């Protein structure tokens, strides 16, 4: 299944914030988690994650710290802030509304859409 580019872009921010809400993480691990969660269906271009993370930092949604774990390479870790959690909650409200509306239209069981006037 190919997921539309706009949909991928729109879901990126809440996805990253939600992953960071589970605990601090770094870029590569965040991407691995996205793949894992979506069963590999959500394909991001790896590099594009970083401008997004930097934007979240500028907005004060995450803090960053360079750290070298005992066994591993030096990485930049991202942790969610209070503002970030508030933004995530707002995203959740918006997505809940959208998915609820779509579910109602599509018959409530995730079935194919019943197109009015269709065969």
Partner 1 sequence: METQISEWRAYVSRSPAVDGADVDELEAHLRDQIDELRTAGLSADEAVLVAVKRMGDVDSLSREFAREHRGRLWKQLVLRGEDEPARDAGDWRTMLVVAVAAAVTIHLVRLAAGFPEELPAWLVRNAGLFVLPFLATYFGLRRGLGARQWLLAATPFVVAALLVNLYPWRADSDTELLVAAHLPVALWFAVAYPYMGGSLRSREARMDFVRFTGEWVIYYVLIALGGGVLMGLTMAILEPIGPELAEHVIVWVLPAGVVGAAIVAAWLVESKQQVVENMAPVLTMIFTPLFAVMLTVAALTYALTGAGGAFDRELLGTFDALLVVVLGLVLYAMSARDPMRPPGPMDRVQLVAIAAALVLDLMVLGTMVVRIGDLGFTPNRTAALGLNLVLLVNLAAAAWLLLRFLRGQLTFHRLERWQTGYLPVFAGWAAAVVALLPLAFAFT
Binding site for partner 1 (CB under 8 A): 26-28, 31, 45-48, 50-52, 54-55, 57-60, 73-76
Write down the least CB distance from residue 108 to partner 1, Å. 37
Write down the least CB distance from residue 25 to partner 1, Å. 12
Task: For residues 62 and 116, give the distance between their C-alpha atoms in angstroms, rounded to a whole number.
Answer: 45
Write down the least CB distance from residue 69 to partner 1, Å. 11
Q: Which is nearer to partner 1, 57 or 91 (CB)?
A: 57
Q: Which is nearer to partner 1, 28 or 95 (CB)?
A: 28
DSSP bridge pairs for 54: none
Q: Which is nearer to partner 1, 58 or 109 (CB)?
A: 58
Contact 16, 33 (CB under 8 A): no
Question: Both tokens of residue 89?
Answer: 């909650």
Write down the least CB distance from residue 26 to partner 1, Å. 8
> DSSP labels for 21-80?
HTS-EEHHHHHHHHHHHTTT-S---GGGHHHHHHHHHHTTSEEEEEE--SSS--EEEEEE
């Amino acid at each position: 299944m190919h997921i539309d580019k706009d949909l991928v872009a729109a879901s990126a921010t809440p996805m990253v914030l939600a992953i960071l809400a589970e605990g601090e993480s770094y870029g590569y691990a965040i991407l691995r988690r996205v793949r894992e969660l979506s069963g590999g269906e959500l394909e991001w271009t790896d590099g594009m994650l970083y401008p997004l993370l930097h934007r979240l930092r500028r907005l004060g949604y995450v803090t960053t710290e360079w750290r070298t774990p005992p066994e591993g390479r030096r990485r930049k870790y991202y942790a969610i802030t209070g503002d970030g959690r508030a933004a995530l909650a707002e995203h959740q409200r918006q997505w809940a509304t959208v998915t609820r509306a779509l579910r109602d239209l599509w018959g409530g069981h995730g079935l194919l859409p019943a197109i009015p006037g269709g065969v």
